[in-house]
């Protein structure tokens, strides 16, 4: 494998698909980075599980109000038109299909849309947060992830071996090498890095990659880390 996208570049690519006017929940950690790359001219409203809609960037250091945080417990600011609500109303938005998009991280995504992203085994303290809710209800549920684990194992798999977060819930995966849709229980390759052959990509993927018509080049800008 000659090269792969940085996390920032994966986040940039995912950001391009978020339509103007969308209501979006970005999972804690890596998915939060997507907000940085929101294309100019689009108005996107971000939801966070702990009861805020319409939040903006972190405040300057030292100006945090710790009653104004997101689900990752990071300090946030508000944009005009923001609102507060309690946790049951917040998850009504999630479960009730009112979000246009939720983006999560993943340990594994299976070709049937199953997601495993909350624990890798039975050791340690398990923690689930809102992930199992977020995979249900949003009109589109996407994953951003490295294409493989650190030791080179596929994260796109035939069947998840880690404990599941949700069943048949993921419809698109943005990886460090490709953009892959999940349709009818199959991975359908939409974009891949130009320098990467189909065979190379398939060898790094744990289930068959199908194509429907053209596979576009996955083109992203250089982004300074």
Partner 1 sequence: MDKTIATLAEAVADIEDNAVLMIGGFGGSGAPIELIHALIDRFKATGSPGNLTVVNNNAGNGQIGIAAMIDAGMVRKMVCSFPRSSDPRAFTEKYLAGEIELDLVPQGTLAERIRAAGAGIPAFFTPTSYGTELAEGKQIQEFDGRPYVLERWLKADFAIVKGELGDTHGNLTYRLAGRNFNPLMCMAAAKVVAQVSTLTEPGGIDPEQVITPGLFVDGVIEVPNPQQEEALIRAGEVYA
32 is catalytic: no
Calculate the alpha carbon distances from 56 to 37, 38, 80 in Å.
Answer: 13, 12, 10
CB 7 within 8 A of CB 175: no
Q: Which stretch binds partner 1 (CB under 8 A): 158-166, 170-178, 202-210, 212-220?
A: 158-166
Residues 6+ apart with CB under 8 A from 76: 48, 52, 55, 56, 57, 58, 59, 68, 69, 70
Q: Which stretch binds partner 1 (CB under 8 A): 127-135, 148-156, 175-183, 196-204?
A: 127-135
Q: Which is nearer to partner 1, 49 or 191 (CB)?
A: 49
Min CB(131)–partner 1 separation in Å: 8
Helices vs. strands in the chain: H and E counts, helices first: 4, 14
Closest CA to 14 of 176, 204, 197, 183: 176
Sheet strands side by side (includes 108-110)? 115-116, 108-110, 156-157
Q: Which is nearer to partner 1, 136 or 186 (CB)?
A: 136
Size of the site for partner 1 (CB under 8 A): 59
Among residues 19, 32, 49, 183, the one annotated as catalytic is: 49
Name which of residues 4 to 23 contact partner 1 (CB under 8 A). 20-21, 23
139 binds partner 1, rule: CB under 8 A: no
Q: Which is nearer to partner 1, 70 or 176 (CB)?
A: 70
Closest CA to 60 of 45, 73, 82, 77: 77
**What residues form DSSP beta bridges with 175?**
145
Among 39, 56, 59, 126, binds partner 1 (CB under 8 A): 126
Active site residues: 49
Residues that bind partner 1 (CB under 8 A): 20-21, 23, 43, 45, 47, 49-54, 65-69, 71, 73, 78-99, 114, 124-133, 136-137, 163-167
């Amino acid at each position: 494998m000659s090269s792969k996208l940085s996390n920032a570049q994966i986040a940039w690519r995912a950001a391009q698909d978020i339509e103007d006017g969308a209501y979006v929940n970005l999972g804690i950690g890596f998915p939060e980075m997507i907000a940085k790359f929101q294309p100019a001219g689009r108005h996107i409203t971000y939801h966070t599980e702990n009861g805020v809609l319409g939040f903006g960037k972190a405040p300057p250091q030292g100006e945090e109000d710790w009653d104004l945080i997101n689900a990752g417990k990071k300090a946030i600011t508000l944009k005009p038109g923001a609102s507060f609500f309690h946790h049951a109303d917040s998850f009504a938005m999630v479960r009730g299909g009112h979000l246009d998009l939720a983006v999560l991280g993943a340990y594994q995504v299976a070709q049937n849309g199953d997601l495993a992203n909350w624990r890798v085994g039975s050791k340690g303290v398990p923690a689930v947060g809102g992930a199992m809710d977020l995979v249900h209800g949003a009109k589109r549920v996407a994953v951003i992830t490295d294409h493989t684990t650190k030791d080179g194992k596929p994260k796109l798999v035939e069947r998840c071996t880690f404990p599941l977060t949700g069943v048949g819930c993921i419809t698109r995966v943005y990886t460090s090498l490709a953009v892959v849709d999940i349709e009818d229980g199959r991975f359908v390759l939409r974009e891949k890095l130009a320098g990467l052959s189909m065979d190379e990509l398939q060898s790094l993927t744990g289930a068959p990659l199908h194509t429907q018509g053209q596979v576009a080049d996955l083109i992203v800008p250089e982004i300074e880390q």
